[in-house]
Amino acid sequence: MTRYDLALIGFGGVNRALAQLIVERGDELATELGFALRVVAISDLRAGSLVRGDGIDLAPLLAAKPGEPGFAGLPGGSADPRTEQVISGVPCDIVAEATFTNPADGEPALSHVRWALEAGKHVCTTNKGPVALHGRALRRLAAEHGVGFECEGSVLSGTPVLRTARRLLAGLRISGVEGIMNGTSNYILGRLEDGVDFPEAVKEAQALGYAEADPTADVEGFDVQLKVVILANEVLGAGLRRDDVSVRGIARLTPADMRDAAARGLRWKLVGSAALREDGTVDARVAPVALPVEHPLACVSGPANAVSFHTDLLGAVTVSGPGAGRVETAYALLSDIIAIHQRQAVPARAVLEESLHG
C-alpha cells in the first residue's frame, strides 16, 4: 500500500487535529482511501522541532497541551523550530502548512510553501496569505517541480468550494461567485437582528471563540477580502491582488438597520463577491448587502458560511457548511492529500491501461 510521510509545519489546532485524525482513523482511512499516512517531522514556533524518520509517536504529543512540553527532551527533538531544515532537508512526501495568516506579505508561510515546492515536495496549506498574494506563482513553481499545491482550506475551512468549482462544476461557465465567508461577522449580524448592540455582539462572539481578541479582520471585512481574491483567481481565472478588492465592513450597522431591513423583506449580510464583466475584467468587493429573504445566502445564519457560483446552465449553485473549526480545517488538509494521491495515481492508471490495450 502507498504511504505518504508528512511534515507538519505548525502544531496548533489544525495540524494537531490532523494528527488526531491519523491516530484515531488511520487504519480505517488507509482501507478506504488506499494509502497510509505517517508523520515524520513537526516544526512549531513554541514547541520546537521533532524529526523521526521511522515515524513520530503522536499519541503522547496529543495528550499534552499545545506547546507543552516542548520537543527538546524527546528523541529527535529540538527547542529550535528549524523550519527551513525540516521542510527542505527531512525526507518526506507532503508538507502540511498550517501556520498563522499574514495578510501583508504572506510570510513566513510563503517561504514555507516555496521551500517545500523547490525541494520537490507536495504542499497542502490552510493559509490564506500565500494563496491570495502569490497563488499563481506558487502553482507555476509546483508545476516546474512536478508536485501538487493544494489549498482547499484557505476559503471555507473544510467545506469544499474550490474543489466543487473545479470538479463538480466542470463544463459549466462560471461568471461569478458570491458568499458569506466569515462566520464571526455573520454571527454578529444575527445578534444585531435580535436587538443586541454591536459592541455587545462582538463580546459575545469573542466569548464563544468565534472572534479574536482583535476582531478587526472579521468585522471590517479583511478576512473575506483575501478569500475573494482566492476565489476570483482560482475559479474565474483572474489575476487580482488584495488592493483590487474594495472592502467595507459591518461596524456601522445597528439593530435599527436590521429592523428596517426585516420590514422590507431583507436581511443584512456581509457578502464577498467577484463577477466577470463583459470586457473580461473582474468586479470584486466585500460589503454589507441587504439581501431578499429568498436569496440563497439570506438564510445562512450563525457562524455558518456559504458560497454561490453563478453558472450558465444551472443558474446559482450554492455550497454551505462550516467556515472555521480546527477539525473541519484539518479535514480540508486531508481532502488535499486525497487530491494529491488521486493525481499521483492517474499516470499509473494510464500506464496500466496502455499496457492492457497496447
**Ordered structural domains, the chain, with CATH:** 2-158+326-355 (3.40.50.720), 170-322 (3.30.360.10)
pLDDT of residue 143: 96
pTM of the model: 0.93
269 given a catalytic annotation: no
Choose among 252, 135, 231, 255: nearest CA to 180: 231
* 3-state DSSP assignment of residue 129: helix
Phi, psi of 348 (to 5 degrees): -65, -40
pLDDT of residue 350: 44
pLDDT of residue 351: 38
* DSSP run (H or E) holding 307: strand 304-311
Instruction: State the DSSP code for 243.
Output: G
pLDDT of residue 1: 87
The pLDDT tens digits of the residues spanning 327-358 come to 999 999 999 999 999 988 765 444 334 434 44
pLDDT of residue 358: 42
pLDDT of residue 180: 97
Three cell numbers, residue 34: 488506499
pLDDT of residue 346: 63
**Active-site residue identified among 65, 121, 128, 227:** 227
Strand order in the sheet with 266-276: 246-247, 282-292, 266-276, 174-180, 304-311, 315-322
Q: Where are the alpha helices (DSSP H) in 240-314?
A: 255-263
Collect the ranges in the chain with pLDDT lower than 50.
348-358
pLDDT of residue 64: 86
